Amino acid sequence: MYTGIQHLHSGVAYLALLALVVVIIYMLIGSLSGREFTEKDRKIGLIAFILSHIQLLVGLILYFLSPLGFEMLKSGSAMSDPAARLLAIEHPLINIIAIVLISIGYIRAKKPGVSRGRFRSIYMMYAIGLVLILSRIPWSAWLG
């Protein structure tokens, strides 16, 4: 079960990152072109929103099942080892913050207002979330 959830976490990560990049570019183009923010635009933003939340949910499940996550934090060994600290503290905490920012961007864009501001809300908050996510991916474990 643990290995399956690990593979699901990695697979959904690719989809979520791709969706975030595509949505950021799409919303940036929408903002720069001056077109109206439509229901279609909201739904496109919703795709990255949902995938990032699924990724967070799978990650939290993995965190509590994994010997590299919560168990390291409980034992106290995570703080002295940078790789362990990344997996036990930094990766989950920063990614939760990133998902909160993505949520704020999407929720703000749902509210009535100027179309440019709605596009901007999504592309800016999603971009900040994406940068945070990319900064805390354990690249050696993910690509290795």
In tens, the pLDDT along 53-111 reads 999 999 999 988 887 777 777 777 777 878 888 888 899 999 999 999 999 999 999 99
The confidence band for 144, taking pLDDT boundaries of 50, 70 and 90, is low
How many domains does the structure of the chain reveal?
1
Q: How remote is the C-alpha of 83 from its chain's centroid?
A: 20
Q: Supply the range of the domain harboring residue 58.
A: 2-143
Select from 12, 46, 41 the least CA-distant residue to 28.
Answer: 41
The answer to whether the CB of 6 falls within 8 A of the CB of 88 is no
Instruction: Give one word for 34, left, alpha or beta, with left for phi > 0 and alpha for psi -120 to 50.
Output: left
- The label of the residue with tokens 């994994």 reads 66
C-alpha radius of gyration, the chain, whole number: 17
Tell whether pTM > 0.85: yes
User: Is the C-alpha dihedral spanning 13, 21, 99, 95 positive or negative?
Assistant: positive
Structure tokens at 8: 């699901």
- The secondary structure element, H or E, covering residue 111 is none
